[in-house]
Amino acid sequence: MQLSEENYAHTFSRNKDDGFCFSLEKNKNEWVLNSGYYVGLTWLDKNKHALLINPKLNNKNLLEPDKIQIDYYKMLFSCLQHPEVANEIEELFEIKWDEPTISIENKEDVLTPFLIIQFLSLVKSIVRKGLKKSYYKVEKNLNSKVKGKVLIGSTIKHNLLKNKFLNTYCKYEEFGVNGLENRLLKKTLHFINKYLPTRLKQNQFHYFEETLNYISPAFENVTDKIDLRELKFTKNNAFFKEYDKAIRLAKIILKRFSYNISNAVNEKIETHPFWIDMSKLFELYTLGLLKDRFGKDVKYHFTHYGNELDYILKSGELKMVIDAKYKQYQKYKVANEDVRQVSGYARLEKVYDYLEKTYPDSINCLIIYPDIINGFDNLKSIQFENHPVKDYNGVFKLGVKLPLLN
Q: Where are the domains of the chain?
A: 101-130+180-271, 134-176, 279-405
**What pLDDT, in 10s, does the model give residues 316-355?**
999 999 999 998 886 668 889 999 999 999 999 999 999 9
The set of residues, in sequence order, having a beta carbon less than 8 Å from that of 10 and lying 6+ positions away, is 21, 22, 40, 42, 275
The distance from CA 184 to its chain's CA centroid, rounded to whole angstroms, is 19
Percentage of the chain lying above the pLDDT 70 cut: 89
| Contact yes or no for 76/247 (Cβ under 8 A) | no
**What pLDDT, in 10s, does the model give residues 64-117?**
445 567 888 888 888 888 877 877 777 788 888 888 989 888 778 888 888 999
**CA 367/CA 123 separation, integer angstroms:** 33
Q: How many residues are given for the chain?
A: 406
The set of residues, in sequence order, having a beta carbon less than 8 Å from that of 137 and lying 6+ positions away, is 171, 172, 173
Task: Place 58 in a pLDDT band, splitting at 50, 70 and 90.
Answer: very low
**What pLDDT, in 10s, does the model give residues 230-271?**
777 676 666 677 888 899 899 888 887 776 666 666 778 888
Summarize the confidence of residues 362-389 as an average pLDDT.
93
End-to-end CA, the chain: 36
Element (H, E) at 253: helix 241-256
**CA 280/CA 89 separation, integer angstroms:** 8
**What pLDDT, in 10s, does the model give residues 153-182?**
999 999 999 999 999 999 999 999 999 899
| Contact yes or no for 224/216 (Cβ under 8 A) | no
Higher per-residue confidence, 13 vs 372: 372
Strands 167-176 and 134-143 turn out to be antiparallel
Residue-wise DSSP of 93-150:
EEE-TTSPPEEEEGGG--HHHHHHHHHHHHHHHHHHH-PPPEEEEEEEEEES---SEE
**CA 333/CA 314 separation, integer angstroms:** 27
Higher per-residue confidence, 26 vs 246: 246
Task: Place 389 in a pLDDT band, splitting at 50, 70 and 90.
Answer: very high
The distance from CA 278 to its chain's CA centroid, rounded to whole angstroms, is 11
Axis crossing angle, helix 111-129 with helix 180-199, rounded to the nearest 10 = 140
**CA 71/CA 372 separation, integer angstroms:** 12
Using a 10 angstrom Cβ sphere, with 0-12 exposed, 13-18 middle and 19 or more buried, the burial of residue 16 is exposed
Summarize the confidence of residues 359-378 as an average pLDDT.
92
**CA 102/CA 271 separation, integer angstroms:** 5
What are the residues facing 175 on neighbouring strands? 135
Sign of CA dihedral 152, 158, 163, 167: negative
Predicted model pTM: 0.81
Fold of 279-405: Trna Endonuclease; Chain: A, domain 1 (3.40.1350)
pLDDT at 361: 92
Higher per-residue confidence, 110 vs 143: 143
* Per-chain mean pLDDT for the chain: 86
